[in-house]
Amino acid sequence: MSPQHGSSSIAAELRLVRPGFTLDVALALPGRGITALFGPSGCGKTSCLRALAGLERAEGRVVVNGQAWQDDARRLWLPTHRRGLGYVFQEASLFPHLSVRGNIEYGLRRVPAARRRVALDQAVELLGIAGLMDRGPATLSGGERQRVAIARALAASPAVLFMDEPLAALDAARKAELMPYLDALQRGLDIPVVYVSHSQDEVMRLASHLVLLRAGRVEAAGPAAELLARTDLPLAQGDGAATLVAGTVLSHDARDHLTTVAFPGGQLQFATAAPHTPGQALRLRVQARDVSLALKAPEGSSILNLLPARITALQPDGPGQVLVALDAGGTLLLARITQRSARTLGLAAGQTLLAQVKGVAVLD
């Protein structure tokens, strides 16, 4: 597949008015990776996605990779089937009378051979469904059905893949089964994905870019790592607050099941059941509740990771708690500590100290 270049992008200005609700957004999304539309129920995530796809008739403009899908000023409107997109719903909606192979080939037939950018074998390999090709949809688990639905959408070689809460109808085990395949999409394809979710865990695991919606409007947008670390946004509030650390695997200690990852600002060791290959790019999640602070290196501690960091902001966060924003050599971290600890240590913006992270607390 030929790579997309830096000019690839998704730009939209959309307004959709309904009784009691107005969607009014301006979007500038990257042309690769996974962009998550995130926010509480009723904020307009799915309405926005459907308007981008042409499934809802909003006012405005939508331009994908330089091609106008909608431009009301020029009276231009492409119906959904002419927009060159893939759409995955909460329910897989496979054709029950067709095998897995037949469902995917249906997607292939939507695109002339000369315009196909995703080969059947590529979609099958990315989603791990080679062993399912001759089975019928009724014999598949929920996670398997969604993987086939994604492969069918990819087989149509879309300019953009839209996904509307594809994990919402699955139980925890099926979500865990599907997540690695979704993660593989952004590494294996140059097709941008716009992903609707109300799960912060999904966003942290998958998204490279984030649009935070509230009451039909964009509250914030930008790289996921930056938005997750902003103490003025609701993402950093509550027990699920976490930040992303992007790095490269240095080594794996098979005896202790510890992987060492280098990132701008230092190294992190974390316990993992699966060994990682040196040189592999890895994105780690560090929860704010698992980061503690020290003015000097402790002696005789079980904590493996000590990262030099500078305090960029402090903010009250619930009764007796303080959220501390940290810059560790350009990598952003959050620490949630008690108000008493902040006062005892005399913490202040601009201060340098050590961020302590337990090896068992880092998630990949």
pLDDT of residue 236: 81
Q: What's the whole-number mean pLDDT along residues 243-263?
A: 90
Residue 151 has pLDDT above 50, yes or no: yes
Residue 14 has pLDDT above 90, yes or no: yes
CA distance 208 to 223: 6
- Do 265 and 306 form a contact (C-beta atoms < 8 A)? no
Tokens of 41: 């129920």
Residue 2 has pLDDT above 50, yes or no: no
In order of 224, 264, 318, the CA distances from 327 in angstroms are 16, 10, 23
DSSP-derived pairing of the beta strands 258-263 and 209-214: unpaired
CA distance 342 to 327: 17
pLDDT of residue 70: 97
Q: pLDDT (tens digit, 9 = 90+) per residue, 282-315?
A: 888 899 999 999 999 888 888 889 999 999 999 8
Between residues 54 and 274, the one the model is more confident about: 54
Terminal CA-CA length for the chain: 28
Please state the pTM of the whole predicted model.
0.87
DSSP-derived pairing of the beta strands 9-18 and 59-64: antiparallel
Q: How confident is the model at residue 7 (pLDDT cuts 50, 70, 90)?
A: very low
Burial of 15 from C-beta contacts in 10 A (0-12 / 13-18 / 19+): middle
Which residues lie closer than 8 Å to 343 by C-beta, 6 or more apart? none
pLDDT of residue 3: 34
- 134: amino acid identity, one letter: D
CA distance 123 to 27: 29
Q: What's the whole-number mean pLDDT along residues 174-181?
A: 83
- Do 194 and 153 form a contact (C-beta atoms < 8 A)? no
Residue 90 has pLDDT above 90, yes or no: no
Q: What's the whole-number mean pLDDT along residues 46-70?
A: 95
Q: How confident is the model at residue 114 (pLDDT cuts 50, 70, 90)?
A: low
Q: Helix 172-188 and helix 142-155: axis angle, to 10°?
A: 20
Residue 36 has pLDDT above 90, yes or no: yes
Q: What's the whole-number mean pLDDT along residues 190-206?
A: 88
Tokens of 309: 């960091």
Q: Which of 272, 291, 301 is nearest to 364 (CA)?
A: 272
DSSP annotation of 341 reads H
Q: What's the whole-number mean pLDDT along residues 250-262?
A: 90
